[in-house]
């Protein structure tokens, strides 16, 4: 009987791990289900600052929401904080968002933030990097990976030929990470580490590794 219990332990462990992964996935789906709503509010601690809070995919209509929000609030603030909690999403929409932020930076101070137990994955990271000051809670999570191609109609992931995947990854890396505040040494390490995998870091780890992605821990 005792021997039988020992044999069952690995199976129980695997089942518990699978259940834990499922719970984490469902929790993150719940967190990111705001479906493109941009919340805008003055910072209660600074009347000259307005906070844009985005808790959804990087997808349409994010850029339009930013443009409309900035037009409405630009005359009422000197500084904007972009508060992010996103699993990433569309590269095209992310690029449009970055263009809107670049317009905002012509006249205003733009900072970015990821708060306690929140996340900034994939295409969210290039948006976060647009901040002059980039604040995050120590346990905020960041994820980096090579760009992924999806079928426009079915939404299914497309397996690209290696040469095409490598070319797309190089373009993405050069566009968003080479031309960014990211520390060059850390960036070169990421270029090797992210091939074919997801790279996760907490904000605290990014600061400890001197990546210069996060400038302030709060």
217 Cβ contact list (under 8 Å, min separation 6): 135, 136, 137, 138, 203, 204, 207
The tokens for 126 are 């290039």
Annotated domain spans of the chain: 32-217
Taking only the tens place, the pLDDT of each residue in 110-159 is 999 999 999 999 999 999 999 999 999 999 999 999 986 444 444 445 55
Q: How many CB atoms lie within 10 A of CB 152?
A: 7
Q: What percent of the chain shows pLDDT beyond 70?
A: 76
Q: Band of the pLDDT at 59, cuts 50, 70, 90? A: very high
- With helix as H, strand as E and coil as C, how does 153-173 read? CCCCECCCCHHHHHHHHHHHH
Torsion of CA 101, 30, 150, 177, to 10 degrees: 40
Confidence class for position 179, pLDDT limits 50, 70, 90: confident
**What is the CATH class of 32-217?**
alpha beta
For the entire predicted model, the pTM comes to: 0.80
Q: What is the band of 76 on the pLDDT scale with cuts at 50, 70, 90?
A: very high
Look at the alpha carbons of 10, 13, 17, 23 in this order and tell me if their dihedral is positive or negative: positive
Question: Of 131, 115, 137, which Cα lies nearest the Cα of 79?
Answer: 131
Structure confidence at residue 16 (pLDDT): 47
């Amino acid at each position: 009987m005792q021997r039988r219990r020992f044999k069952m332990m690995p199976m129980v462990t695997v089942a518990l791990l699978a259940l834990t992964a499922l719970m984490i996935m469902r929790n993150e789906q719940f967190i990111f289900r705001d479906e493109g709503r941009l919340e805008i509010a003055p910072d209660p601690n600074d009347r000259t600052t307005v906070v844009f809070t985005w808790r959804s995919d990087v997808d349409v209509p994010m850029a339009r929401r930013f443009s409309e929000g900035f037009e409405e609030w630009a005359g009422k603030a000197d500084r904007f904080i972009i508060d992010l909690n996103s699993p990433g999403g569309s590269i095209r929409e992310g690029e449009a968002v970055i263009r809107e932020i670049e317009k905002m930076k012509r006249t205003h101070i733009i900072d970015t933030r990821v708060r306690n137990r929140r996340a900034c994955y994939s295409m969210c990271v290039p948006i976060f990097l647009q901040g002059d000051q980039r604040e995050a809670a120590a346990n905020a999570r960041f994820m980096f990976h090579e760009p992924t191609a999806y079928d426009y109609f079915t939404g299914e992931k497309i397996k690209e030929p290696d040469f095409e995947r490598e070319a797309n990854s190089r373009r993405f890396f050069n566009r968003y990470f080479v031309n960014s505040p990211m520390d060059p040494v850390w960036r070169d390490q990421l270029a090797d580490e992210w091939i074919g995998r997801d790279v996760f870091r907490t904000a605290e780890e990014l600061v400890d590794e001197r990546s210069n992605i996060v400038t302030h821990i709060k």
